[in-house]
Amino acid sequence: MADIFLSYAREDRHKAELLSRALEHAGWSVWWDREILPGASYERLIEAELSAAHCVVVLWSASARQSNWVRDEATLAISRHVLVSVLLDDAEPPLGFRQQQAANLAHWDGSVMDPAFATLKQGIANIITRGDDPAQRTRAATHAHATPKRPVWKPIAAMLLVVVLAVIGAVVWSGSDAGSLSESGATASGERQPRESTSVPGAANRMPRSVAAQALSLPAQASVTLPRERVTLTILSGMLEPVNADARLLTLHIRFSNNGTSFYRTYYSNLRLVIDDVPRAPNDPPLEQVDAASAREFDYRFDLPAAATGAVLRVMHDGQTAEIPLDVAARRR
């Protein structure tokens, strides 16, 4: 397993080799398809290295924009949160990959002292470091900023004493006033007056019934087809669940029907939930394969504002775009 997976178009091979040497000079191991051994399964080896790399560096250029391989590799990298983008010319990355700041190596000559290369190194280091043991780093940071602890047994003992005295007082008061309470609970006619209802502990923190989980009302046409791939995506069901006062979780159960003659991977398609013209990526999307002439079902989860009423599920793949409108308005029960 290499530290860095380098993704690039065939036309940019020379620059990819130049960058690979510079990154290895910086101390990282780099994998790119020049190292594939004869007889090895090209596709399986690429997928294994791509899934295991700590960081995926994608070289964007006019040629890379047209490469399905580069788009597929970048899609998987962004779903794993390990993508670092590099610009080799004036061409922008495709839609869906422009949210990240990219290192500009359009005029880089291969020097490891170039400021642009230093910027790229820092971005890669941030990704790889983030992939180390986060719990250990958190503990170290906590210990570094911790203040000396003071003895706490004294204030705890005082608090316990106050609680004990309060309990004793409540028991004594309850015993002495039981008769008077019983008498005050009845009227002159002998009928007992209803007492005031007591609040249940924690009731104030409960989610009101008006925002409880609800099934999504699906449109009549809840499927889209990618004609070139002969793959159909169908929303079978949906569920809206409250997270807090400001957010909800939308779960879409989607069937991928592959009517083509080759396998299809779920990350070949970019699924985005668009609300108020803002696309939202799914949380931990599945990275699965659907064999030819078969179908599989997966759950896609999206965060959305509690006040949202309308949304669109947008499916994008290799220049093809299809949309399914969704009604996500919260309904009172």
Q: Do the domain assignments include residue 153?
A: no
Per residue in 231-257, pLDDT (tens digit) is: 999 999 999 999 999 999 999 999 999
Of 87, 62, 98, 14, the residue nearest 279 (C-alpha)? 98
Give phi and psi for 324, each to the nearest 5: -125, 115
Residue 17 three-state SS: helix
Write down the mean pLDDT value for the chain.
77
Residues 168-190: what's their mean pLDDT?
47
Residue 87 counted as domain residue: yes
Same domain, residue pair 247 and 125? no
Tens digits of residue pLDDT in 44-78: 778 888 888 999 999 999 999 988 889 989 999 98
Confidence at residue 130, expressed as pLDDT on a 0 to 100 scale: 77
Position 104 in a domain? yes
Range of the domain at 282: 211-327
Longest pairwise C-alpha distance within the chain: 101
Please indicate, yes or no, if residue 70 is contained in any of the structural domains. Answer: yes
Domain end among 113, 134, 155: 134
Residues 9, 124 within the same domain: yes
The strand pairing partners of 59, in sequence order, are 86
Q: How many domains is the chain built from? A: 2
pLDDT on residue 148: 35
| pTM metric for this prediction | 0.44
Q: What is the C-alpha separation between 39 and 41, in angstroms, rounded?
A: 7
Residues in the chain: 333
| Amino acid 91: pLDDT | 84
Is residue 220 in a domain? yes
CATH code for the domain in which residue 14 is found = 3.40.50.10140
Lowest mean pLDDT among 177-186, 264-273, 292-301: 177-186
Structure confidence at residue 189 (pLDDT)? 41
Residue scoring higher pLDDT (275 or 203): 275
